[in-house]
Amino acid sequence: MATYVGKTVWITGASSGIGEALAKTFAANGANIILSGRRVDALQAVADGLPTETLVLPFEVTDYDVLETIVAKAWDWKGRVDILVNNAGVSQRSLAVHTAPQVYTDLLNIDLIAPIWLTQLQLPRMVEAGGAHIIAISSVAGRIGAPLRTAYSAAKHGLIGYMDALRTEVSSRHSINVTNVLPGSVATDVSRNALTADGSTRGKSDRAIDSGDDPMDCAKAILEAVTNNVPELIFASGIELDLAKMRHSDPEKLFAMGAQMGAKISEQYESGDDA
């Protein structure tokens, strides 16, 4: 495995889950870490456990008026950002027919517009620095349409599209590499923190997430993908991996299966059996 000694890695959504696991993994390989999120105490707790230098840089990802200042602080710390990890985000658990339009605006802002802004504000710096690596944490739901996740799927599909298009412009010309990561079920608080039909936080997890992969295993796979400059990593197994691959290999079969699965899941959700 390549060493990241002397490299600076900036991770959003770094206080828990995949973000925290990435901080531990990159730091274990020598990188200095910028930790961003909203919960200062949680970010500091992560920082206190890392073996390398850290900068706790809290901010709200949709506070667009301050993002340019935040980017300047991040770059001033060590003179550059070698790896940017767009990990901050929120999921959804609600049927489209019941979901308020504002939930779509909120989710698209958090999961799509915010990472685009954060990336765009750094591109000129990355070009001037002679290169960088951008990691976008999307989802298997960014490849397939997932029930109870219409807004989330829309945002994560969009994030993949933006990053794929960006890669065509900057990878060869400016040595800025882009890796899209599509996790399946990973054991985090993603379901517990998901937005419901009225925009409130769900407050409980579900069986698929609770029995999902270890975030540290996901982080190790991402580190390897970055080391090898892999454009896209699908970190999933079983039916989730099969469906993600089917989107291109056999879309008609995917759509048929999706309709059947979606009807069943929707009925269970409306009956209250959404665990």
- Taking every pair of Cα atoms in the chain, the longest distance, rounded to a whole number of angstroms, is 55
Work out the end-to-end distance of the chain between its first and last CA atoms, rounded to an integer number of angstroms: 39
- The closest of 216, 235, 233, 229 to 2, measured between CA atoms, is 229
pLDDT at residue 20, rounded to an integer: 98
pLDDT band at 196 (very low <50, low <70, confident <90, very high): very high
Does residue 1 carry a pLDDT above 60?
A: no
Q: What is the pTM of this model?
A: 0.94
Q: E strand or H helix at 60, and its extent?
A: none
As a whole number of angstroms, the distance between CA 212 and CA 236 comes to: 9
Given the residues 4, 64, 104, 152, select the one marked as catalytic: 152
Are 37 and 62 contacting, i.e. CB atoms less than 8 angstroms apart?
no
pLDDT at residue 126, rounded to an integer: 98
Better-scored residue on pLDDT, 37 or 207: 37
Based on the residue annotation, tell me whether 64 is a catalytic residue of this protein: no
Which backbone phi and psi does 93 adopt, to 5 degrees? -140, 90
- Quick: pLDDT tens for 210-228: 989 999 999 999 999 999 9
Going from the C-alpha of 10 to that of each of 65, 109, 244, the distances in angstroms are: 20, 20, 28
- Quick: pLDDT tens for 150-176: 999 999 999 999 999 999 999 999 999
Please give the CATH architecture assigned to the domain spanning 8-237.
Answer: 3-Layer(aba) Sandwich (3.40)
Are 28 and 104 contacting, i.e. CB atoms less than 8 angstroms apart?
no
Output the DSSP codes for 87-104. -----B---GGG--HHHH
pLDDT at residue 269, rounded to an integer: 84
pLDDT at residue 274, rounded to an integer: 61
SS3 content of the chain, % helix, strand, coil (to 5): 50, 15, 35
